[in-house]
Structure 1
């Protein structure tokens, strides 16, 4: 076993609770274990099982990656890059808050949760797999299906934590196996198509982290059967930190927007799209503030 570590200085007002809420979704704690000061998460690192320990202490995030295998020379730099992405540190939320802190609707949301950043997944593939899993069902149902998928793949770190499978491992499954875990036929086809294309190098998801325009990524992802605009916008937010996806089709976003606007019923998708459109290039960050209003940060 090898251990790689790094420390990341956090900006003033950083909100660890948002990060912890996102990784606390599954109460059975088979892949992520969260306490009041940090978390442990199973993941694959260069295809090897690993356990990420993240602790918040004295204005810093301290990361240690226990790897079931030998470390490479560039692993320290890669760990810090992943850590900064997972913490949302590249998101210019200060600019957003300066622009909208006095807005009649957004001002109150911003004041209540100043410094809110969108937690990101360890890899873009994990974000896409979660987005497909969560299509048109509740968070609780999606968490259950995700857990069954992790158990089906049964990729474990030596600590016992389950690791989220990579594209190659999911591509080796069948639609019937995914169906037994609770995936619909449509979701099974979408997840397998995504996994097979990513494993074959046709969708270089990690390479796109190096500044590929979001529009180009979206175009490639929308060509995958079963992946639509909501899935792409969500995955670009959680996997790439893109803050301008329009999540107007999200039921929780529409419910919270109705509350903010004092509507008796939640707005329809067209109304939500039009309202969010005024806040480009921050539409997805606005959606995150609306999620937070419902205490839905774990979604």
Structure 2
């Protein structure tokens, strides 16, 4: 089944930011990106387009999401490895098309009110110049909150390159291959049934392996209730409720929670003061000689609520190799 969709993009939409996030793995096991710089487009007599493909489980079936960017439009196609009877297929098509629109809008950051953020802080003495350089910066989201959770746990206290390698092996170990060749990120049931020893074999520590399994089992049992897909970001109350649930799971700390709230749910007010790359960029931004402590970063970010996580994203963008 193929489900097409077309979305309008804001003016000067940052396609490169989206492709940088989804193209972190150069081996392209689960995602495949093609980026054509605007300068090259201007020189070409033919229309050039940037695009990416991502394998993902959809309704329990292997699927491949394809998004092609051209001008102010994103052409979306979801190819699901399923063959259904005609009457069932029609009902599924409409239901899945609606869900697809919500998920892609979230993944592309189209519901993030960056214009309001810019209006508030473009003249700020500390971050005004920084955000004006990337005025249309939006935070790309993972395809699902569970994928964001797995990445956050995997990436705790290690480099981005190391986390990418482990994530790749994680997907290859437990994922399902789509007919197009890309491998889908594992689902909670697949991870919940896994043994700690298997996850340790791909480079995860014992603690991280146990945490991933505990998370998946909590989702499966209903103990951890992830909010349903919505075209609206989390509000403060729902974010606090989810934060409390996540912090009750062994191996989950404040950095992991705030990262997941951002990359999994588009919650832009999580304080990422515990992030090493954020503090390193903040030190440079403020022209400090001494290191910035977590407490100092937390206090500095307080002024920017309810946009603290978006400020962190701008600090990440100062160093492309630090972007989680």
Q: What TM-score does the superposition give when structure 1 sets the normalisation length?
A: 0.96
Alignment of 1:71-86 (within 5 A): 72=92, 73-86=94-107
Q: 2: distance between equivalents of 1:43 and 1:258?
A: 38
Alignment of 1:204-219 (within 5 A): 204-207=225-228, 209=230, 211=234, 213-219=238-244
The answer on 1:156 being equivalent to 2:155 is no
Q: Work out whether residues 139 and 263 of structure 2, in 8 Å CA contact, stay in contact via their aligned partners in 1.
A: yes
Q: Work out whether residues 10 and 59 of structure 1, in 8 Å CA contact, stay in contact via their aligned partners in 2.
A: yes
Name 2:38's counterpart in structure 1: none
> Offset at 1:12?
1.6
Q: Which entry has the higher C-alpha Rg, 1 or 2?
A: 2
Q: Which moved more, 1:9-18 or 1:255-264?
A: 9-18
Alignment of 1:128-207 (within 5 A): 128-207=149-228
Name 2:302's counterpart in structure 1: 277
Q: Work out whether residues 24 and 298 of structure 1, in 8 Å CA contact, stay in contact via their aligned partners in 2.
A: no
Q: Which moved more, 1:76-85 or 1:62-71?
A: 62-71
Name 1:18's counterpart in structure 2: 17
How many residues are treated as equivalent by the alignment?
A: 298
> Offset at 1:201?
2.3
- Cα 1:208–1:68, aligned 2, differ >3 Å: closer, same or farther? closer
Alignment of 1:250-261 (within 5 A): 250-261=275-286
Q: 2: distance between equivalents of 1:283 and 1:174?
A: 37
Q: What TM-score does the superposition give when structure 2 sets the normalisation length?
A: 0.89
> Offset at 1:283?
0.6
Name 1:241's counterpart in structure 2: 266
Q: Name the SS of the counterpart of 1:165 in structure 2.
A: coil
Q: Work out whether residues 258 and 264 of structure 1, in 8 Å CA contact, stay in contact via their aligned partners in 2.
A: yes
- Runs of 5+ consecutive residues of structure 1 not aligned to the other structure: none
Name 2:5's counterpart in structure 1: 6
CA shift digits 1:209-242 (9 cap, x unpaired):
5756111111111111111110000000000000
> Offset at 1:296?
4.2
> Offset at 1:258?
0.3
- Runs of 5+ consecutive residues of structure 2 not aligned to the other structure: 36-49, 84-88
Q: 2: distance between equivalents of 1:154 and 1:55?
A: 24
Q: 1: distance between equivalents of 2:250 and 2:229?
A: 20
